[in-house]
Amino acid sequence: MEGNDLRKAGLKVTLPRVKILDILEKSGTRHLSAEDIYRRLVDLKEDIGLATVYRVLTQFEAAGLITRHHFADGMAVFELNAGPHHDHILCLDCGRVEEFVDSGIEERQTAVAERHGFAISDHALVIYGHCRKAQCPHRSAPTHE
């Protein structure tokens, strides 16, 4: 029961928050936009407004439950913080997003930050490409759904 995660994060356990967290946890795709989540709520016949979705997502982000990403189209997508840090590789044809970690890249980023006199706080690395896979239909629709 995810009420505990919410309590641990210092958030009151309300119906919208539980439902939204549930969607994030159960979603096949790990990266959802506010609209994506709102549409799923509508499908579930939940009476939750889009404004609340944005508010809740912002709170989740502040609480460290989720991370907000801006991929190339500029629209925000949100991802549950499960497991440790990772970066993203995204298919420009089918919108598939895969995750990876490369310790060498991580180390070198720290080195770059030091070299420039920065205390590193975070980073965002997205590789854009074309996945040559059977499932990828070379669609034009770029990002999600």
For binding to a copy of itself (CB under 8 A), which residues are involved? 70-72, 74-76, 89, 91-92, 98, 100, 102, 104-105, 108-109, 111-113, 115-133
Report yes or no: 36 and 97 within 8 Å, Cβ to Cβ: no
Nearest distance from C-beta of residue 13 to a copy of itself, angstroms: 30
Angle made by CA atoms 100, 28, 68, in degrees to the nearest 5: 60
Q: Which does 80 bind (CB under 5 to 8 A by kind): DNA, a copy of itself, none?
A: none
Residue 64 φ/ψ region, left for φ over 0, alpha for ψ in the -120 to 50 degree band, beta for the rest: left
The single residue listed with the structure tokens 């990266």 is 31
What H or E segment, with its residue span, contains residue 104?
Answer: helix 103-115
Judged by CB under 7 A, the residue of 2, 5, 67, 76 near DNA is: 76
Is the Cβ of residue 10 or residue 28 nearer to DNA in the bound state? Answer: 10
Burial code (b: 16+ CB inside 10 Å, e: under 16) for 25-61 equals: eeeeeebbbbebbbebbeeeeeebeeebbeebbebbe
Binding mask 4-43 toward DNA (x if CB under 7 A, else -) reads ---x---xxxxxxx---------------xxx--------
Comparison of 47 and 100: residue with beta carbon closer to a copy of itself = 100
Among residues 5, 27, 39, 58, the one that binds DNA under rule CB under 7 A: 58
91: contact with DNA by CB under 7 A: no
User: Which residue ranges make up the site for DNA (CB under 7 A)?
Assistant: 7, 11-17, 33-35, 47-52, 54-56, 58, 74-76
